[in-house]
Amino acid sequence: MPCKTKAMATTNHTVCVTGAGGFIASWLVKLLLEKGYTVRGTVRNPDDSKNAHLWLLEGAKNRLELLRADLLDCESLRVAFAGCKGVFHTASPVTDDPEQMVEPAVKGTRNVINVAAS
């Protein structure tokens, strides 16, 4: 007997995904769009061609917005999170140097938590 599939959920909720262009985040954006969410994704550069794959996702044309944000800039996070019902934090600095990765990752995560909670 074939598996039953659920009909696509519809929602008017907007959520934010930090680091939306990343591998895991891209799959999360895809799933959220499929579930009917409007997704506001943060990226380093919305015009960068490495984010082009996001615009090919079903529902992206009408329910995806990419914003420039920096995890160390609380104001850019406030703009990105404004009006969102939830935040999925997947962004992280990418470098081979642990000293240049750990501290910004921790500070950025603290900023995300603090801004999302405010």
Q: What is the pTM of this model?
A: 0.88
CATH of the domain at 34: 3.40.50.720
**Per-residue pLDDT at 93:** 84
Cβ–Cβ under 8 Å, residues 43 and 68:
yes
**Per-residue pLDDT at 10:** 65
Domain residues for 36?
14-117
Residue 9 within any structural domain of the chain: no
How many domains are there within the chain? 1
Dihedral-angle region of residue 19 (phi above 0 means left; psi in -120 to 50 means alpha; beta otherwise)? left
Residue 65 within any structural domain of the chain: yes
Residue 5 within any structural domain of the chain: no
Residue 74 within any structural domain of the chain: yes
Residue 3 within any structural domain of the chain: no
Print pLDDT tens along the chain (118 aa): 555 445 455 678 999 999 999 999 999 999 999 999 999 999 999 999 999 999 999 999 999 999 999 999 999 999 999 999 999 999 988 888 888 889 999 999 999 999 999 9
Residue 109 within any structural domain of the chain: yes
